[in-house]
A and B are shown apart, each in its own frame.
Chain A
Amino acid sequence: MSRKAAVRRRVQWMPMVFAGPALVVILLLVAFPIIYNIYMSFFTQTWSGELEFAGMANFVELFFDDFFRGSLLHTLWWAVIGVLGVLFLSTWASILLTDKDINATLRKMCTVLIALPYLIPAVVSAAVWKWIYHYDFGPLNDFLIRFGLFHRVAWLEQPTVALWAIAALWIWHIYPVLMLQVLAALQAIPFEIREAASIDGASKSAVIRHILVPMIKPNLIILGLLATLWASKSFAYIQVMTEGGPANSTAIFSHYIYNAAFIKFAPGLTAAASIVMFLVMLGISSFYISALRRSTDAD
């Protein structure tokens, strides 16, 4: 065989060997769970441990389950409010940091300091904030009372308030990473554009609204998607702070799945719930992707 053909043949198998093992792992992660979930969602487990075909019974049970509907609602709420909060804060912080009136050292220092919270593990940050939110001994309530601003608030013990409180913690913890991304995007914008705009008489807020934000819009959309995906991972924070909250008011999807799998021991139900969650996430993601396409097309 000619040398060229031999080389071409050899070059063909090499990348597959290189990528092979990793792809096996990924297949385990992507293909297997989805197929397994779809399969199992049509079965229920009898007392004796056998699987019997149950058709759509699992899905029907899901729709009638208050806990399920509640967790779905909370997850969606989290995905909207949490993501908005994170996007807003990270954009605002980045804009503040790229302001030319800031001393360079201050900027570097603030960047590092603002990024710091993300380094704390989720569980640890939840533990610290759990104390901060403590009704009797927490610094937050103490601060509110000391200055006569307010009365004590039961941050984690009341149904609606708890969800906001934990969402605040999540935003606190996550926005630094996104801020760094937005910062990178903002710094890629040539400075002359800003200068030109302000020379033409635009006020600072106008520059921000009509120039900077539209320019980083694609980045923001991607980050929104990322944040939404991360929002669905907020199991750790909630588990540490309220374990699902006063009367399941802070439970999200992950809690339902955990409950169905390990407390109810209902594999079919778990699989059905997992699929619904996956489809919801897929739906939200496609919304973002189409938004991304629209914004880059309009350019």
Chain B
Amino acid sequence: MLVVLTVWGLFPVVWMFLSSLKPPENLLTSPVIWVPRVLTLQHYATVLQSPRFIKYFFNSFTVASSTLVIALVLSVPAAYAFARFRFPLSRGAFLSVLMSQLLPQAVVLWPVFVLLQHLRLLNKLSGLTLSYLMLVIPFSIYTLRGYMAHLPREIEEAALIDGCSPITSFWRIVVPMSTPGIAATGIYIFISSWNEYMFALVYTNSTAQRTLMVGIHEFMGEYFTDWGAVMAASSLVAAPALILFVVFRRFFIEGIAQGGVKG
């Protein structure tokens, strides 16, 4: 039974990689040619030589990295504040953090569009980054706070007694101790931004600003689709995440298990 589930899970992935290597004549055939006799790299060549693809890749990478850095810079201190202190409005603020999880993207789609319009950030990568920050920060704060709340207080208290200021204690003690949590959250932030589609579709409309996800959809035209190229592009896009996962799987599984249910 497990075998069935595993096969069902893996088949599309295998199909994707396999098809990206099939020569064009073998692609759209009926009956389907499952395993090609000849393999070719020409689809990868098509994709990698396309300046649009390179641009989209660069855009996605820029947006995802910027979101990652800024989100962490904002969320880690905020999580610490929520984990260790009770300050005015903290309860209401944390409630809004939770509330923001309830908001479907479509509900904020239009207001954020108007906001970006007023800030003249439409069709700019920085505008997109801002919208992504709004998406990932609540969850990051929630997860990191949960993680930090479980850290032993004794070390921080010892530091404070020894004359450390709270800020130094945060920077030199709490942050290093939270590295696994920060790493897992960071991975989540980067991948969420990398995979995001709806905001990217709506908030950019020129080729120069387009991201990879929208780009792939673009490759699948209405009447004609170069499936080989689409599969090659898909494989390229999916590969980093897969490799990261296999290497860091402990982080992934722990990060997901920690942040979700225990709270």
CB within 8 Å of B: which residues of A? 10-12, 14-23, 25-33, 36-37, 89, 93, 96-97, 102, 110-117, 119-125, 127-132, 136-139, 142, 145-146, 172, 176-177, 180-181, 183-185, 219, 222-223, 226, 229, 232-233, 235-236, 239-240, 253-254, 257-258, 261-262, 267, 270-271, 274-275, 277-278, 281-282, 285
Complex CA gap A88/B12 in Å reads 21
Add 9 more A-B contacts to A26-B100, A239-B217 (CB < 8 A): A14-B167, A25-B137, A33-B110, A93-B5, A120-B241, A142-B32, A219-B261, A257-B110, A281-B103
Give the nearest-CB partner of A93 in chain B.
B5
Q: Is the CB of B103 within 8 A of A278?
A: yes
Is B155 an interface position by the 8 A CB rule?
no
Q: Is the interface of A mostly helix, strand, loop or mixed?
A: helix
Check A257/B109 contact, CB under 8 A, given A29-B134, A176-B9: yes
Q: Is the CB of B241 within 8 A of A121?
A: yes
Is B166 an interface position by the 8 A CB rule?
yes
**Residue in B2, B103, B141 whose beta carbon sits within 8 Å of that of A22 in the complex:** B141
Is B231 an interface position by the 8 A CB rule?
yes
**Residue in B5, B82, B102 whose beta carbon sits within 8 Å of that of A229 in the complex:** B102
* 26 cross-chain CB contacts under 8 A: A14-B81, A14-B167, A17-B77, A18-B77, A19-B78, A22-B74, A22-B137, A26-B100, A33-B108, A113-B10, A121-B213, A121-B241, A124-B16, A128-B16, A129-B12, A131-B19, A131-B230, A132-B12, A132-B15, A180-B253, A219-B261, A233-B198, A236-B197, A254-B105, A267-B110, A282-B102
Q: Which of B90-124 contact A (CB under 8 A)?
A: 90, 93, 96-97, 99-115
Tally B residues with Cβ within 8 Å of A: 88
CB within 8 Å of A: which residues of B? 1-2, 5-6, 8-10, 12-13, 15-16, 19, 27-32, 34, 74-75, 77-78, 80-82, 84-85, 87-88, 90, 93, 96-97, 99-115, 133-135, 137-138, 141, 166-167, 170, 191, 194-195, 197-198, 201-202, 213, 216-217, 220, 227, 230-231, 234, 237-238, 241-242, 245-246, 249, 252-253, 256-257, 260-261
